[in-house]
Amino acid sequence: MRRTVRFGIVALLFAGTVLALGAAGQPEAATGSYPLTWLTVGDTAARALGDEDRVLATIEDITGVNLQMQIVAEGGWDRVNVAIASGDLPDIVTGQLASAATNQWMRDGILVPLNDYLPQLPHIAERLEEESWTAVDGKFYGYPFVNQKSTTNAALTTRSDWLENVGKDVPTTLEEFRAVLRAFVNDDPNRSGRADTYGITTQGPIGAFNWAFYAYGVQYGDWALDDAGNPIPHHEHPGFRQGMVFLRSLWDEGLIDAEFMLNDRNLMEEKWYQGRSGYMTPALFRHVSRLESNLQAISPEAGLVYHSAPIGPEGHSGHAVTGKGGMFTAITIGSRDPQKAAEFLDFFVSPEGFDLLTLGIEGIHFERTADGGINYIEEERVRDNFAANGWAHPLAWGHVRWPLSENYLPMTEPARDRAIDSVEVATADQVPNLIPYVTQAEIEYGGVVDEIYEELFLEMLIGRKGVDEGIAELSRRWRNQGGDRIMEDVIQAYRELQ
């Protein structure tokens, strides 16, 4: 009992001390170079930065700053938003591109326009020229990174042993694809003697079945055009109706995993490894060798097969949507030296900065071989927190770039050629966007209307609503819950682009 009391007293003393300390505030770190804080979500899977990180030291030498990273865990954009909204402003902040929050930062005057500094920021200026739509009233407030803008790693993926077992080739048309799915369900592809397989499984309804709509002539990743050439939402295009009828027939025949909506990425992949479903829609690229070796752990004869999206009756096809979202890195008005911060950021996005974060310092972390290859010196790299097997420094990804968009793979990556090939195949099916950016009304109402789309899509697919009835309801509800406002913006943006 005494112990409890003593504990209590100690604890109270502590609480008192903490409050007192709080009032005193924290002392500033005194160093010669400019202390620069950067608040970002970063790459949560990366290692912690070490105290004597030579890569960080090199960056600091070159840019003349003392970098203090504030990395938020868990992809915690909420935390970033709260910090900014509370007036806890870092020098640099990375937010979400085209989101309500970053919009507000610009509108409320939290961010410093970069225009005046652009002459000193060659690399940022170059990117801003490509993404000129990010300007608000002629002012550029930050460095945009659009994820999966020109490459993607999503493609329909199946297994070679099943194709052989049912005697089918890799399908190219929609009807061939249907035939393969049928065979996967009816012709006992796993040789179990039971009807225990599905044709295809996937993850989450939005976008997972878009290949059907593109095959029937929906033209763009974001919107469609009607006969008069005016932008309309996908579900008002006749191709959407045909695609929906096609998908519905697959569902009615039992070719689609009846519980695909419960899948997360892991479960989807497991169903595929375990031979419960022949097709899935995974992320490829550097995952190719992992997926295939897991598959072979259960079925040694099997191989991973990815292929182009099935072609519709009039020759259309497509699979992945072109990205519009990503990250937005900006200088805040909390920075005492915005120019310094901007110059730092410019180095960070430059090719030199990129090499430093992926390869390291030449002679210490890597050597160039005579034939132009790279020799990674793993024992030195691990000292500076590089990830294993030629992968990058903790700061490399998640701020202004991701590996896929850079097409980055270390020379040591197993199945490197197939990884690159999978991206080429997937990217060939990437459907372009009508409007390359997210309009204001979409930021405002997008969540609500996507929601309606998702719900009705699923009801039509699983037969709870007829296709025509469902489309009519979707169209009506979609438009009156914000869709009309979105279309106004989209039509205007489309006119401006033309």
Partner 1 sequence: MADRNELSAVPTFRQSRLSRSRSDSIFDVVNYAFLTVIGLVTLYPFWEVLIISLSPYDLYLARTFHLITERVDLSSYRFIMGMPGLWSSYRVTLFVTALGTALSVSLTTLTGYVLSKDYIRGRRVIMFLIVFTMLFSGGLIPLYIVVRQTGLMNTVWALMVPQAILTFNLIIMRNFFFSIPDSLEESARMDGAGDVTVLVRIVLPLSMPVISTIALFYAVQLWNDFFNAVMYISDRRKWPLQLFLRAMLFDSEASLQSGSDDPSLLGQPIKMATVMAAMIPIMLVYPFFQRYFVRGIMIGAVKG
Partner 2 sequence: MYLLLIPGLLYYLIYHYWPMYGAVIAFKDFHIVRGILNSPWVGFKHFEYIFSLDKFGQVFRNTLWISLLRLFFGFPVPIIMSILMNEIGKKSFKRSIQTIVFLPHFISWVIFGGMLVNLLSMDGGVVNNVLRATVGTQVRFLTDPQVFRSTLVWTMIWKTYGFSTVIYLAALAGIDPQLYEAAIIDGATKIQRIFRITLPMIRGTIVVLLILRVGNLMQAGFEQIFIMYHPGVYRVADIIDTYVYRIGLTEGRFSMAAAVGLFRSVVNFTLLVTANRVARSFGERGIY
Closest contact distance (angstroms) between CB of 192 and partner 2 is 12
Question: CB-wise, 90 or 243, nearer to partner 1?
Answer: 90
Provide the binding-site residues for partner 2, judged by CB under 8 A.
12, 15, 19, 77-78, 81, 84-85, 87, 99-101, 104-105, 108-110, 196, 198, 205, 258-259, 261-262, 264, 266-267, 276, 446-448, 450-451, 454-455, 457-459, 462, 477, 480-481
Which entry of partner 2, partner 1, none binds 432, CB below 5 to 8 A by partner kind? none
Which entry of partner 1, partner 2, none binds 457, CB below 5 to 8 A by partner kind? partner 2
Beta bridge partners of 34: 65
Q: Does 396 bind partner 1 (CB under 8 A)?
A: yes
Q: Compute CA distances 344 → 37, 38, 91, 400, whole Å.
A: 11, 11, 11, 13
Question: CB-wise, 10 or 136, nearer to partner 1?
Answer: 10
Closest contact distance (angstroms) between CB of 278 and partner 2 is 14
Angle at 75 between CA 38 and CA 440, to 5 degrees: 85
DSSP state of 149: S
Among 166, 252, 140, 259, CA closest to 205: 259
Which entry of partner 2, partner 1, none binds 391, CB below 5 to 8 A by partner kind? partner 1
Residues 6+ apart with CB under 8 A from 6: none
Binding partner 1 (rule: CB under 8 A), the pick from 105, 391, 437, 478 is: 391
Which entry of partner 1, partner 2, none binds 105, CB below 5 to 8 A by partner kind? partner 2
Among 434, 12, 445, CA closest to 231: 434
Tokens of 247: 């998908």
The pattern of x and - marking residues 132 through 171 that bind partner 1 according to CB under 8 A reads: ---------------x------------------------
The number of C-alpha atoms within 13 Å of 380 and in the hemisphere containing its C-beta is 14
DSSP notation for 175-217: HHHHHHHHHHHHS-TT--SS---EEE--S-STTTTHHHHHHTT
Cα–Cα distance for residue pair 98/196, rounded to 1 Å: 44
Closest contact distance (angstroms) between CB of 97 and partner 1 is 13
b vs e for 4-27, b when ≥16 Cβ sit within 10 Å of the residue's Cβ?
eeeeeeeeeeeeeeeeeeeeeeee
Site for partner 1 in 62-121 (CB under 8 A): 69-76, 78-79, 82-83, 85-88
Closest contact distance (angstroms) between CB of 398 and partner 2 is 18
Which entry of partner 2, partner 1, none binds 88, CB below 5 to 8 A by partner kind? partner 1
Question: CB-wise, 56 or 218, nearer to partner 1?
Answer: 56
Largest CA distance in the chain: 85
Binding partner 1 (rule: CB under 8 A), the pick from 100, 297, 333, 411 is: 297
Order the strands of the 34-40 sheet from edge to edge: 65-71, 34-40, 92-96, 326-331, 143-146
Q: Does 57 bind partner 1 (CB under 8 A)?
A: no
Binding partner 1 (rule: CB under 8 A), the pick from 29, 45, 228, 370 is: 45
